[in-house]
Amino acid sequence: MTIGKIIDGKAFAATLRDKVADGVAGFVEATGRKPGLAVVLVGEDPASSVYVRSKGKMTVAVGMESFEFKRPDSIGEEDLLDLIEELNQDERVDGILVQLPLPKHIDEAAVIGAIDPAKDVDGFHVVNSGLLATGQEALVPCTPLGCIMLLKDELGDLSGLEAVVVGRSNIVGKPMAQLLLAESATVTIAHSRTRDLASVVHRADIVVAAVGRAEMVKGEWIKPGATVIDVGINRIADGEDGKSRIVGDVATAEALAHVRAITPVPGGVGPMTIAVLLRNTLVAAHARAGLAKPADL
Ligand SMILES: Nc1nc(=O)c2c([nH]1)NC[C@@H]1CN(c3ccc(C(=O)N[C@@H](CCC(=O)O)C(=O)O)cc3)C=[N+]21
Ligand SMILES: [Mg+2]
């Protein structure tokens, strides 16, 4: 039995961050200032705090300015909107990321809608999703763009390939489908109501799993030779010592016997998300400064 390739997202992300760092150096030379990324974290969720800290470190490591804003769970929507407006007006800030999810009493759509689309490095604003959907230049959500980069690196031209995206979120599933469509793949979006998910997935040359359910996509669902991108990051109890570990949305060990290539969890899509965030911040900085973005980004 042949074993598929494990796509090294961690290494690809490191290479991308190196390119971003080169681009940052050019930007500083051209403008006399560093690109800036503002990250807003509401509440105390420990996983979110760890993640925000590592983003801040990587932002500084590529030569950008990092601004972090922590606010308590109890913050009112008006106060959060005021902070966004301040960041919209701040010339040092090229990118604004509001860590999701937000507390229930805050309307996420209202907060995302308040971000200047030119600074929306998550690509979640309806202006950016509309631009993407109509094939215009946009800031594109980081996770799906990272997935496309890995797919093109592995497969080259995606044109005519059968792609199945499992999951229909605004953050991953929908923009992923738009990006695959823009690459001329044949695209299906499957979700929790899809009948006979196994046979839908079995048609696919490209499977993107983004449902948030641990190891939900089984190995025998995968068509032999398909390429699988696993977006899931699920923390599960490990049985033995009560410790937890992270698994994806795909049963990776089973799938390896069927795939051409697959992204691991951890070390696959996750690191790409952060590298693309830095890339998007650099792209936003260039656009705001009236400069063309570096060609290799
Ligand atoms: N506005 C907004 N934008 C986001 O992009 C966003 C967000 N909110 N809220 C939270 C999620 C989560 N997220 C991750 C990104 C990278 C890893 C990552 O690098 N994971 C590593 C390590 C995993 C681990 O060990 O914990 C890996 O997969 O290898 C994880 C999670 C971005 N998010
Ligand atoms: Mg809410």
Residue 169 assigned to a binding site: yes
Domains by residue range for the chain, with CATH: 32-118 (3.40.50.10860), 142-270 (3.40.50.720)
Distance CA 108, CA 126 (A): 12
Could you tell me the CA-to-CA distances from 100 to 39, 111, 137, 142, 262 in Å, in that order?
Answer: 11, 10, 24, 14, 27
Determine the average pLDDT of the residues in 111-125. Answer: 98
Spatial CB neighbours of 239, under 8 Å, sequence gap ≥ 6: none
Provide, for the chain, the percentages of residues in helix, strand and coil under a 3-state DSSP scheme, each rounded to the nearest 5: 45, 15, 40
**pLDDT value for 219:** 98
Mean pLDDT computed over 186-200:
97
The response to whether residue 273 sits with its C-beta less than 6 Å from ligand 1 reads: yes
Residues in the chain: 297
The contacts of residue 213 (CB under 8 Å, 6+ apart) are 232, 234, 249
Predicted confidence band at 1 (pLDDT cuts at 50, 70, 90)?
Answer: low
Model confidence, pTM: 0.97
In DSSP terms, 225 is beta-bridged to none
- Closest listed residue to residue 9, CA positions, set 271, 220, 297: 271
- Say if strands 162-166 and 186-190 run parallel, antiparallel, or are unpaired: parallel
Report how far ligand 2's centroid is from the alpha carbon of 43 (Å).
13
Each residue's pLDDT tens digit, 63-117: 999 999 999 999 999 999 999 999 999 999 999 999 999 999 999 999 999 999 9
Stretch 116-143: mean pLDDT: 98
The pLDDT score that the predictor gives to residue 44 is: 86
Q: What is the dihedral of CA 196, 202, 208, 211, to 10 degrees?
A: 20
**Arithmetic mean of pLDDT, 161-184:** 98
Q: Is the pLDDT of residue 123 over 70?
A: yes
Q: Give the residue whose CA is nearest to atom 18 of ligand 1.
A: 270
- The letter for the amino acid at 28 is V
ipTM of the complex: 0.95
Residue 233 assigned as binding residue: yes
- Which are the catalytic amino acids? 55, 99, 122
What distance in Å separates the CA atoms of residue 249 and residue 216, rounded to the nearest whole number?
A: 5
